[in-house]
Each structure stands twice: as structure tokens, then as C-alpha cells.
Amino acid sequence: MTMTTFEEATAPLRGELLAHCYRMLGSAAEAEDLVQETYLRAWRAFHGFEGRSSVRTWMYTIATNTCLTALKSQQRRPLPSGLGQPPGDPSRPVVEDHSVPWLEPLPDQLVWGQGSKRPDPQDAAEVTEGVQLAFVAALQELPPRQRAVLLLREVLQLSAAETAEALETSVASVNSALQRARATLGEGASSAGRRVDELSEQEQELFRRFCDAFERYDIPAVVGLMAEQSVWQMPPFDRYYVGREDIAALIGGQCPASGPMDLRLVPTVSNGQPAAAMYLRDEDGSYRPFQLCVVDVVDGGITQVVGFFDATAFAQAGLPELLDA
């Protein structure tokens, strides 16, 4: 088998394998590394590929087991709401906690490749199915093998027999693990935000108004677009905030912006969901990356905003390092 043959057979799978590894790990950076490891392992074994399964299933088998090996030495990646603590008090200073390996966003541009266009909605939906933040956060509650079974069976739609072969176990063990995974998740993943290709015109307008309200620094307008019991969280800050009143107090009391155009928002897509790259005005008038906000839109309302303060996410999303004044 030549390298050309290998690349022709496996290169089109890179984006969906990245999404799969992200679901398993909750980290875009680690997912990139493990996709590289998957391709290295696959190339070494390609001469022995007998075609008993599709190349796609074979690659997913390698990727899943590569992730399971990595997860043996890693902690789960939660959001602040997954730490078992009560909601935060917005009147108290926010506290960073870098001891926790937080869940990371997955900018869509990282999946499709820098500089490439987003594919048509159907192809995009197939790849980004199950990468919404709420779903990936819920997956973190599962032991790694249950996580793998759930993803292979319910996201990738492999049969119980194919899943058992991929994980080198029995069909009975697969069915048992799937039942336990479903019981653990319960309703935990049902509140996942809508993908951008699912948004109605009214929901798209809602998101535009949300971005506009922030640029005007109209806090009542911002929270007025959110559900009554919406959630705001901002890893690596270790608390989450619930309800319009507390979210308004948090933004008004602790956001470094103070007036119109202190913030500029650039719409983007992360985790298949509407997202806004928030830039903060510097002393020289330019705008620097502040946080990447991934927005959950459910039933026509904003139910959650997760703001990620890692500038790496801006680079992964192909966003500029600086906006001119």
C-alpha cells in the first residue's frame, strides 16, 4: 500500500475524527494530537488492512482506542457547573482555578481546516452531531469506556457487533455499558443548544441582537434576551451564575468594559453552535481577544453562555489577534 493510497482513503475523515476525539476528551488541543497519533498508527497498520470493515470504521476503531489509552492518565474535563458547587455570588470577585482541566470549546474552523469553507448543512450536521457543549459536558460524567460505547452506538450509529469488535469486548458488554451510560446521562444532554444550521430566522435575529446589545453595553438588553433561569459560566473561573438578575450583576460589576464599544463581537461558530468572539478595547484603542462565548439557543431563547478566556480558541477559530480601532 502506498502513502498516496493511504491518504486518498483516510484524509477525508480527518475532520470527523477530530470531532470524535474531542467528544471523547473534551479538549480540542488534545484531540488534534490524538488524531495525529491515530493517523500514525493507521499508516503503520495499513498494510494489514483486509477490508473486513470500511476504512471509516477501521479509523474510528483506532481513534477510539487511542483516546481510551490517553484517558487512563487524565481527569475528566468539566464546566464550572459540573463541580457540584452551588451557583456563584455575583457580588464576590471571580476566582480563577487552573488546577482543573476545564472543558474546552471546539471552533468549527478547526474541524474544517483553516481557510476552508464550512461544508453544506447536511455534511456539517453529520460531523458536528454531538459536539454541542452541553452534550460533551454530560459525556464527561461517564467512565471512558461507557463514553466510547455511547458515541460509537448513538452518534456514529455503529452496530453493537461493530462496537464490540472495535473495543475488543462482547456484544453483551456493549449493551450493558450503553444502558448504564444512558442512565447516567438521563436528561443531562437534552438541553444541548441548537446547531447553527438548525436556527430559525427568529433565533438568528435573537443572536444578532445579543451581540449588538453587548457592543452597546446595554446590560438590561443582554439579559432580557436570555431565559429566566439561564446560566453563565466562564472557565477558568470556578463558579457559574444562574438567572437574569445575577448575570446582570456579574456583567455590570465584574466585566472590565464600562460603556458602548468597549467590546466588539465577531460572530463565529464553535461546537456547531452560534458563538461570538468578544474583543476588549485596549488603552491604545485597538481591540484584543477577551473571551469566546458559545451560546446555547433552546426553544427560541438563550439558555446558557459559556465564555472561554483562552486566547488559543481565537487562533483555532481563525480569528484575528487584533482588531483595529
How much is the pLDDT for 128?
73
Tell whether the model's pLDDT for residue 257 goes beyond 90: yes
Q: How far is CA 206 from CA 171, 199, 260, in A?
A: 46, 10, 19
Residue 79 resides in a domain: yes
Tell whether the model's pLDDT for residue 210 goes beyond 80: yes
Which amino acid appears at position 66 of this protein?
T
- Average pLDDT rounded to a whole number, residues 238-262: 96
Q: What band does 47 get if pLDDT is binned at 50, 70 and 90? A: confident
If DSSP states are collapsed to H, E and C, what string results for 261-298? CCEEEEEEEECCEEEEEEEEECCCCCEEEEEEEEEEEE
Residue 10 exposed, middle or buried by CB count within 10 Å (0-12, 13-18, 19+): buried
DSSP classification of residue 233: E
Grid cell at residue 220: 438590561
Question: What CATH number has the domain bearing residue 208?
Answer: 3.10.450.50
Residue 323 resides in a domain: no
Question: Which residues form the domain of 281?
Answer: 196-316
Nearest CA-CA partner of 324 in 246, 276, 264 = 264
Residue that finishes a domain, picked among 185, 215, 239: 185
Tell me: do 80 and 106 sit in the same domain: yes
Residue 13 resides in a domain: yes
Q: What band does 208 get if pLDDT is binned at 50, 70 and 90? A: very high
Tell me: do 174 and 32 sit in the same domain: yes
Q: Answer yes or no: pTM beyond 0.85.
A: yes
Tell me: do 215 and 288 sit in the same domain: yes
Contact at 8 Å (CB) between 134 and 192?
yes
Tell me: do 158 and 202 sit in the same domain: no
- Average pLDDT rounded to a whole number, residues 193-208: 95
Residue 325 resides in a domain: no
Residue that finishes a domain, picked among 137, 159, 185: 185
What total of structural domains would you count in the chain? 2
Instruction: State the greatest distance between any 2 C-alpha atoms of the chain, in Å, as a whole number.
Output: 64
How much is the pLDDT for 147?
96
How far is residue 233's CA from residue 280's CA, in Å, rounded to a whole number?
18
Tell me: do 169 and 28 sit in the same domain: yes
How many Å separate Cα 127 from the centre of its chain?
13
pLDDT digits (tens, 9 = 90+) for 307-321: 999 889 999 999 999
pLDDT digits (tens, 9 = 90+) for 292-308: 999 999 988 999 999 99
Tell me: do 157 and 14 sit in the same domain: yes
